[in-house]
Structure 1
Amino acid sequence: MTQPRTPRTGSIEFTDQVVVVTGGARGLGRSITEAFLREGARVVVNHHRSADAATALAAAHPGRAIAVKADVRVRSEVDTLIERTHAAFDAPVTTVVNNALIEFSFDGDARPHAHEIGYEAFAQQFSGSIQGAVNVIQAALPDLAESGSGRVINVGTNLFQNPVVPYHDYTAAKAALLSVTRTFAADLGPRRIAVNMVSGGLLRTTDASAATPEAVFDAIAAATPLREVTTPEQFADAVLFFASPWARAVTGQNLVVDGGLVSN
């Protein structure tokens, strides 16, 4: 006879979660969105310039997904996103995934080098990774606290530990996001909100990594213990862990998901 499941204190099952995935319509964001939907969560598919993809994804999951346009760098637009979430699901946001990436392509041949990169490139990446994440967390904060087990998952990179390709602006912004992850975890922990980061390497393949030569993918695969390049779907599964009841005692951490290429 099957025994009833014992409720886990300080956690929310996926079927009771309302998740906001920024940049959730394409690439890695789409894989994260689909992973949460697969587990029964309700998901807000945030987009900025991917209206068609977001709308189609939401339409495939009626009643459990909505597409909401918002530039995460603009606080008023993020506030509207949260309001639309309430209107659609009549429930507070329990989980936030800060995935949005501002106009960046992983193309090592075309990247600006140290002697030529201007600070405006750094500022653009900081506006997406830091300003965007802070806007979303703060806008959702009352909801996350109300849930009693709020979860924030930030998307990072292994490049600030292993800058195999020195993308100066992108890497600096993600390093700063790790700092925000840890300081926000310390500040929000008493409100029962956990803040963590999942950091990947090059993923095979997303819109951002589409410009990467096949030889680079092969070289990275050969350098990993698993002899493969991590996929967006594998990365998304790790995001699910931090949103799951099994991570209810974990906060302020950075999990590197790259097939073992980098030890954290």
Structure 2
Amino acid sequence: MMINNKVALITGASRGIGAAIAKKLASEGAFVVVNYLKNKELAEKVVKEIESQGGQGAALQADVQNAEQVGLMVAQIIDSFGAIDIVINNALSHYTFNPKTRKTAWDIDWQDYQNQWEGNVHGAFNICQAVLPYMKDQMGGRIINIVSNLIDFPVIPYHDYTTSKMALLGFTRNLAKELGAFGITVNAIAPGLTYPTDSSIETKEDVREKIMEMTPMKRLAVPEDIAGSALFLASDLASFITGQCLYVDGGLVMK
């Protein structure tokens, strides 16, 4: 198993991409903490699915935007398991990828940017601030931040969402520069439009078809595609990779 006996925290893991990552990491031997904000039932369902496949997991509630709640959650993980080896910052402020309801550059408010910043950047910041003392002490760890391929190819200009994800990539690279000396790698994954998820459910069929037509592999990403990439970056196969952004979008963005 690729990450046997590692302790992994996945934020926003009660559904969609986060749930797929939790299941994938558990299938490769990690003890997975399924973080959720509100839906305890869904989070516990993910844990039950993990356990039904022979894995181990637990559901823990915390609002990643609340530093106190994050600190308590991380302290509970350390108290229970003695380490935290892998962090996947997947939680985000709610967003809907619907071109017809998005705000244009001339009618968007600064508060819209602020809302996305809080979920995508402040949330990741709180998690990292809480886990770094433990990762530094153990001289190792994996941090993976979920961004978006829209940062390089804004096929539809979701201004607030994309700007916050670009900021998260900058945060990723600065952490990577400073934490490498402690054996901690920090990378990002940039998914393409991933369907089905709560965020993409309102993306109209014509838009999905247009994106598939432009994509070399002629399909959209599914949550399991992102999960496989997260497993790779969390494993020893990626032990000398840091500060990178891995695009998982079937070749829509090529860098």
Which residue does the alignment assign to 1:5?
none
Q: State the Cα distance separating 1:13 from its structure 2 match.
A: 4.7
Q: Any gaps of 5 or more consecutive residues in structure 1?
A: 1-11
What displacement does 1:31 show? 0.8
> Distance in 2 between the 1:33 and 1:214 partners?
29
Partner-residue secondary structure (3-state), 1:225: coil
Give the structure 1 partner of residue 56 of structure 2. 64
Gaps (5+ residues) in structure 2? Answer: none
Aligned equivalents of 2:106 and 2:58: distance in 1? Answer: 44
Q: How many residues are aligned here? A: 252
Percent identity at matched positions? 37
Deviations 1:6-30 (A, max 9, x none): xxxxxx9511210110001111111
The answer to whether the aligner puts 1:205 opposite 2:172 as a matched pair is no
Residue in structure 2 matched with residue 219 of structure 1 by the alignment: 210
Residue 95 of structure 1 contacts residue 144 of structure 1 at CA under 8 Å; is this kept in 2?
no
CA distance in 2, matches of 1:40, 1:112: 43
- Would you say the 8 A contact 2:27–2:50 is kept in 1? no
Taking the aligned partners of 1:234 and 1:155, their CA distance within structure 2 comes to: 13
Contact 2:2 2:29 in 1 (8 A): no
Q: Residues 60-86 of structure 1, C-alpha deviation per residue, up to 9 Å, x if partnerless?
A: 445821111111011110011112212
Separation in 1 of the partners of 2:48 and 2:152? 39
* Alignment-derived partner of residue 133 in structure 2: 142
On the 8 A contact 1:47/1:68 being kept in 2, the answer is: yes
39, 48, 51: which one pairs with 1:50? 39
Tell me the distance in 2 between the aligned counterparts of 1:107 and 1:17: 38
Distance 1:60 1:103 in 2: 25
Q: Quote the residue 1:84 is aligned against.
A: 76
Could you say what secondary structure the match of 2:133 adopts? helix
How big is the alpha-carbon RMSD for the aligned residues of Structure 1 and Structure 2? 1.4
How does the TM-score come out when normalised to structure 1?
0.92
- Pairing partner for 1:104 from 95, 101, 123: 95
